[in-house]
A and B are shown apart, each in its own frame.
Chain A
């Protein structure tokens, strides 16, 4: 199973190293980890995707909680909005450009760089959507990919 964990941490140097060190030491598998600022400048938010069983998830959460600079840890694997941003540099010979523009539009992506023989396409969405898009691009020849890893947030209460 894969789980998504959100951790609020103090915005101090070394916190990321501590979290990474903890995962390595305890043998937990990180699939992706993102850090960013929050509405408070003394707090950052980490979104961590781990793979393992429920026991692993429990230990990950408890061990994270033990770190002094970790303020709050929540399992947001279900009921949350998940997004990732991906940049794909893809071969774009003149005869394929039309198709690429069309595909990009269907996926509500954007072409952010146009060069002689390639495009950089920006795409956001959940993991599935990005994977689907990347798969399509393979047919054209991908030169480079950069993915941010996932950020996630629990949905607001519904009546």
Chain B
């Protein structure tokens, strides 16, 4: 059988339903074989869009995202998307075409060393040099991408390999000498953790993206209720517990609420689950939670002890470890701590000045009209306002580029999420700058009728950078004005065949959102002309500890 056909058959066996990509010379053979398959292919308008879409698809559904791209520029265009997925541990398998084997190394037309380029941003990658190994590599790629700590895997397939003749023998299992993820936490360590919890007077759970990846939300909530412990999340962990749950204090770190940051900073025990203590979460790491002991549960041993000291490390899958841990702890009231947190919560709520047309107000209204929607974000102020003011109920409801902070992620990710969950509303809370980075995917959404909604908090600036210039560079606004108040996103949307709406004042917000909600047969872009001076607050200034968080009037 032609290798390309065998390859497509292998994808079918892996249960692949959708592929995002763009064809080209080196991958033509594979696209030809795809023609006869039931696998759906979404031709995006840029390979970066394809990788982010596959990433959004994976995050919304828990399935693996699959990308096809051709050699050279097609492959290099996937790089940002791959790095993004790598930082946020999202399972992707990216297949790239490569020039024929005899041409590799000769600087042939559209040759790029994509396995070399992506080595540090993939969980693993392959250059297929022998057609007989193709199917085994495909099997391994899916296995590696989806097990343990998930991540992107790239498989580079030379054109002549895809044209070769091979037998279709798809391996049923994978044997890798050097890859054996550990799922079960060590029982002794779990018991030690339980002892610490029982002794603690001010325990807090810090939930990261790993909780969502492991589908461990139920176990997380049960443990929190049993102890009981307040839960704060990282940005990636947002939604791992419903933000309507009384124990949930929302997200912490640079732009978390004061009360959540205080609670984390003042706790005497942090039960960290599936998070990696990034600098955005910990603030100045030397001054991070100085009075607390730390239990760190993570499937990746390399995360433990990487950024903060850990008292009880537990390597394992969050779902299993949390379920076991719960069995060893008992309810214990900690009145003083509860009262303290309650006091912070009342005294330091999230707030903003309500004059003018505030972006925070728009997000609050989005929340009101679309409480159950899957929300993706772009990067910058829009992302932080979305995180602060859109309360989510479900684990896979909030999708954001946490680790890499990729402008242009949100919109294609929304497209991918919508493809995965056609029955759900999917919204991209966007910035004007970010949206422009992958706006071409509007064409894709129109063409395939993927009716996502893009709500642009249009401030005419690279707002987050402007905010830093205002606060830390004496208001020297170097290169951050992008003049998008002069851009008609409404007309651009219409030009693509989508629906465009412009909103100039607060009183129009609700109507526009309701109007957008009614439209389900086309993508909708709503351009909110918000106050360009609005800032994301509170904020832990860089280099400061969580306790040194500043707010509007500080």
Contacts and interface: CB of A to CB of B under 8 A. Distances in A.
A17 B302 contact: no
Given A14-B115, A17-B116, A59-B306, A68 B301 contact: no
Contacts of B305: 55, 58-59
Contacts of A55: 305
Contact of A21 (B119, B176, B301, B302): B119
Contacts of A14: 115, 127
A65 interface: yes
Given A58-B305, A59-B306, A62-B301, A68 B119 contact: no
Nearest to A70: B178
Nearest to B309: A55
Contacts of B73: none
Interface string A32-63: 00000000000100000000000100110011
A25 interface: yes
B301 A65 contact: yes
| Most A C-beta atoms less than 10 A away, residue of B116, B127, B179, B300 | B179
A17 B178 contact: no
Interface string A1-27: 000000001100110011001100100
A112 interface: no
Given A55-B305, A59-B302, A68 B144 contact: yes
A71 B177 contact: yes
A67 interface: yes
Interface string B240-262: 00000000000000000000000
The size class of the interface chain A forms with chain B is 20 to 34
A68 to B, nearest CB: 4
A79 B433 CA distance: 59
| Most A C-beta atoms less than 10 A away, residue of B116, B119, B129, B178 | B178
Contacts of B144: 68
A66 interface: yes
A71 B302 contact: no
A113 B129 CA distance: 42
A68 B302 contact: no
Contacts of A72: 178
A21 B144 CA distance: 20
A75 interface: no
Contacts, number: 40
A28 to B, nearest CB: 13
A72 B177 CA distance: 9
Contact of B120 (A25, A59, A69): A25
B301 to A, nearest CB: 5
Contact of B178 (A22, A58, A71): A71
A35 to B, nearest CB: 15
Contacts of A68: 123-124, 144, 176, 178-179
A67 B119 contact: no
Nearest to A22: B120
A21 B119 CA distance: 8
Contacts of A58: 305
Nearest to A15: B178
A43 B302 CA distance: 24
Interface in B157-192: 176-179
Contacts of B301: 62, 65
Given A58-B305, A62-B301, A18 B179 contact: no
Nearest to A71: B178
A74 to B, nearest CB: 14
B302 A62 contact: yes
Contacts of A63: 302
B115 A10 contact: no
A66 B177 contact: no
B162 to A, nearest CB: 20
A72 B305 CA distance: 20
A59 B178 CA distance: 17
A33 to B, nearest CB: 17
A42 to B, nearest CB: 8
A66 B115 contact: no
A5 to B, nearest CB: 15
Nearest to A61: B302
Nearest to A25: B120
Given A17-B119, A25-B120, A10 B177 contact: yes
**Top 4 A-B residue pairs of the complex, sorted by shortest distance between their CB atoms:** A62-B302, A71-B178, A68-B124, A71-B177
Given A59-B302, A68-B176, 4 more contacts: A10-B177, A43-B177, A67-B178, A70-B178
21 contacts: A10-B178, A13-B129, A14-B127, A17-B116, A18-B119, A21-B120, A25-B120, A55-B305, A59-B302, A59-B306, A62-B301, A65-B178, A66-B300, A66-B302, A68-B124, A68-B144, A68-B176, A69-B178, A70-B178, A71-B178, A72-B178
